[in-house]
Amino acid sequence: MTNLVFLGPPGAGKGTFAGMLGNDFQLVHISTGDILRAEMKAGSPLGEQAKRYVESGGLVPDEIIADVVDVRLRADDVRTNGFILDGFPRTVRQAELLDDVLARHHWKLDAAVLFDTRRDLLLSRLTARRLCRGCGRMFNVLYGPPKKETVCDDCGEALYQRADDSKETALGRLDVYDQQTAPLIDFYERRGLLKRVDSGGTLDTVNALVRSVLSL
Ligand code: AP5
């Protein structure tokens, strides 16, 4: 069983490579951003609570998001296969809460992979990202465009831009990362768990780097 945390600023590729690695190695990909967006779409109490933080680019309070992760980690698929946590933890407090959860299950973390690249590239990736309203597939109008500009290649539904991918909100999210999440780099480095990946290359290049730092 392999248990991983994927860290890094918005647009660094955490979701992209968690998806690829999860598929290739049967690890459960847990994206706190995806969970929150699904709750918002469903109009659940959690979604209502999260909406103002997510849409403005701020962070949902630590205890709320840690509970969400705790519940997800109890599922059978996680116990059997191991997990990739994408976008959690995002503060030192969340990392401490994750330690508590892992200790309760007698699990250990194998690595924290840090994806990072130049700010201008992060911003251009974020503002060019599009998602399918039907199947959720991700496209990028600059770096992986759909065949028809506004339509999903797979299911034909319309594509949309995440509310927090506007230039202004994306810049704010990068600041939030610097202030609240970047201290986790030290946190995991001190524990000997940090693996750095320069995620500025092509999909194939970065995919190879991830496998190499994880010896997969
Ligand atoms: P979340 O959904 O986690 O957003 P994020 O961390 O800001 O990350 P992104 O999804 O923007 O980027 P990514 O690194 O996954 O990049 P991706 O692979 O998509 O969180 C959203 C919000 O939810 C937060 O702001 C917060 O409000 C809340 N939240 C979530 N977790 C929380 C927590 N733990 N605590 C509190 N609040 C929380 O790639 C980006 C684009 O670039 C894509 O279009 C992709 O196709 C493209 N791309 C990526 N890599 C490459 C490459 N190598 N070559 C070409 N294109 C590439």
Q: Is the pLDDT of residue 140 over 90?
A: yes
Per-residue pLDDT tens over the stretch 17-60: 999 999 999 999 999 999 999 999 999 999 999 999 999 999 99
Q: State residue 49 phi and psi, 5-degree precision.
A: -65, -40
109: left (phi over 0), alpha (psi -120 to 50) or beta: beta
Per-residue pLDDT tens over the stretch 74-118: 999 999 999 999 999 999 999 999 999 999 999 999 999 999 999
Catalytic residue list: 14, 90, 129, 162, 173
- Do the beta carbons of residue 27 and residue 84 sit within 8 Å? yes
- The DSSP bridge pattern shows strands 111-116 and 194-198 to be parallel
- Do the beta carbons of residue 140 and residue 15 sit within 8 Å? no
- Do the beta carbons of residue 214 and residue 113 sit within 8 Å? yes
Find out whether the beta carbon of 29 lies less than 6 Å from any atom of ligand 1. no
Find out whether the beta carbon of 130 lies less than 6 Å from any atom of ligand 1. no
Per-residue pLDDT tens over the stretch 190-199: 999 999 999 9
What is the torsional sign of CA 66, 69, 71, 73? Answer: negative
Q: Pocket of ligand 1, candidates 143, 176, 202: which has the most ligand atoms within 8 Å of its Cβ, to mutate?
A: 143
- Do the beta carbons of residue 58 and residue 176 sit within 8 Å? yes
Which atom of ligand 1 has the smallest separation from the CA of 176? 25
Find out whether the beta carbon of 36 lies less than 6 Å from any atom of ligand 1. yes
Distance, CA of 99 to CA of 80 (rounded, Å)? 19
Distance, CA of 3 to CA of 135 (rounded, Å)? 27
Q: Pocket of ligand 1, candidates 7, 16, 124: which has the most ligand atoms within 8 Å of its Cβ, to mutate?
A: 16
Q: What is the pLDDT at residue 1?
A: 81
